[in-house]
Chain A
């Protein structure tokens, strides 16, 4: 087939620029909003997802990780006595207060874990030593929040809940959805920093013996340990995500913005493709007079839309790559996993082809006799 679609598209460079600008704007907006949604979603449950635990034991009715309630730490021994349990550790995640030397205070979330185990601790430690956390007053914070917390180097001393806290290391990329930074420390320190009584814990993290039937273990623990909920990491992660992304409305807000981006794209592309179709309406009439079936003409219009989609998407991905990269050093990371990028490509294609429907409808009802009118 002669390149009628491509030639018509590139014939009017100004209109093509407008079309591509609309697509780029729309796709970048979708990438940013969906990327924020993905980033936020992963951030809300990162402490659970990166805990290396198979099961989370929480006080009964705990809806999400920030709402943990204290229960007796003696339940740890009931858990350890259950067949199929390879390891179990007490764990704290709770809000507290940070005070800088200049007197300023801000909220933080204290994460208390057993530094001798691999369950529930920080990840991506890029400076200092996580092993130091077994020492009194030792804490690790994330690089992203250095400025917010007034931290400049390892060894600096601050106050958490009125107690001494000494920086022994930094992580990179551990964000908190609530904008209150995570502060990792030992379980013992965390009890003081987070006002958790000596004989209590907020969570018990369980690692199962490899090959254990997780459903059975979950049921056994539920039967053995009273007044708690036994959740898989996946379950607790989902509950936490659903709360923050949907119950609070935060996730819906970004999704609405993504949908708006899609609508903008459809409107802009529909307008420019329609204008191009009208510019070439006589040619389509000629094609019809020559005996072209409607499907032949649809193919021309859809090809124009598809070429616009591919070009616009490619340009948008270049812009998006810069934005995604720039966001990594900020408090809200925009993520662009490759399946999402592929999905957005097909969405862009659908958006442009869908926008061509108005034009297709126009040529469907085109009277070929118009070619005889001067």
Chain B
């Protein structure tokens, strides 16, 4: 099966004045359609950097990044937005909804970027909001929604244009346990029912049960969970930081 995203020997180094900070060091990773991959690790381990590189928001210092089979690390800055637009949907920790637009208009904006406008955009926006059970909030402003509802709107927006990859950065961080589970269930359905490749960066141990693969990172490297389709992959990362935060029932 062809991977939705393939990262091979990727490094990313930040240059801050005279110092060089290696954020990613020789990372190899494939993400496949129909799976939920959890990217976990302590702060500064490189999770968000890896997500940004996979999402063509940051350019890798070296290595190969292929999205839907397209080698992106060689593309110019002007060409990268088209890759994001055509293949990737983002879900952010802070929701990043547009506060002056209604729920429906937030989704329509994402569709507008992809050339879907007018009544067709409204129809598609309603369909996407129906998927996340929020179509009745179409004319509501984000300020009148709960955290969970905002994140579900963000999910609907990320699905605009049917991207093959969904990248989520800490989608449950601002949510309570019950709401977080609901959001993660939605992510799970996106992968298993709609065939998307879903990557979730998370610190939240409550979401472990929703992951098909759990990849653990430290100091810019993958320390466990790395692999390709068909290769057995450990579900529970060995690092004590994660072990101590996993409820016993889940760990069992």
Q: Chain A interface (Cβ within 8 Å of chain B)?
A: 1-4, 7-8, 11, 282-283, 286-293, 296, 368-369, 371-372, 374
Contact = CB atoms under 8 A, between A and B. Distances in A.
Interface in B27-79: 48, 51-52, 55, 57-58, 78
Contacts of B82: 291
Given A2-B109, A2-B112, A291 B85 contact: yes
Contact of B81 (A1, A11, A288, A372): A288
B92 A292 contact: no
The 5 tightest CB contacts between A and B, nearest first, are A291-B85, A7-B100, A291-B84, A2-B105, A286-B96
Given A289-B57, A291-B82, A7 B101 contact: yes
B93 A374 contact: yes
Contacts of A7: 100-101
Nearest to B121: A2
Interface in B77-106: 78, 81-86, 88, 90, 92-94, 96, 98-101, 105-106
B192 interface: no
Nearest to A296: B113
B23 to A, nearest CB: 11
Given A8-B100, A369-B52, 9 more contacts: A2-B101, A2-B105, A2-B106, A291-B81, A292-B85, A292-B113, A293-B78, A369-B58, A371-B96
B173 to A, nearest CB: 9
Contacts of A291: 81-86, 88, 113
Contacts of B117: 1
Interface of B: 48, 51-52, 55, 57-58, 78, 81-86, 88, 90, 92-94, 96, 98-101, 105-106, 108-110, 112-113, 117, 169
A357 to B, nearest CB: 20
Contacts of B109: 1-2, 4
A372 to B, nearest CB: 5
B84 A290 contact: yes
A183 B252 CA distance: 110
B217 to A, nearest CB: 15
Given A7-B101, A291-B81, A291-B86, A372 B112 contact: no
20 contacts: A1-B109, A2-B109, A7-B100, A8-B100, A11-B99, A11-B100, A286-B92, A286-B96, A287-B113, A289-B55, A289-B57, A290-B84, A290-B113, A291-B82, A291-B84, A293-B78, A369-B52, A371-B96, A372-B169, A374-B94
Contacts of A371: 90, 92, 96
A282 B106 CA distance: 14
Contacts of B58: 369
Nearest to B102: A2
A310 B218 CA distance: 55
A290 B48 contact: no
A174 B42 CA distance: 85
B101 A369 contact: no
A4 B94 contact: no
A287 B90 CA distance: 11
Contacts of B55: 289
Contacts of A289: 55, 57, 84, 90, 92
Contacts of B93: 372, 374
Nearest to B169: A372
A204 to B, nearest CB: 71
Contacts of B51: 372
- Most chain A CB within 10 A, of B86, B98, B106, is at B98
A372 B90 CA distance: 10
Contacts of B96: 282-283, 286, 371
B90 A290 contact: yes
Interface centre among A1, A291, A374 (most CB of B within 10 A): A291
A337 B208 CA distance: 73
Contacts of A374: 93-94
A37 B6 CA distance: 69
A280 to B, nearest CB: 8
Contacts of A293: 78, 81
Greatest chain A CB density within 10 A among B90, B96, B100, B108 is at B100
B85 A290 contact: yes
B112 A1 contact: yes
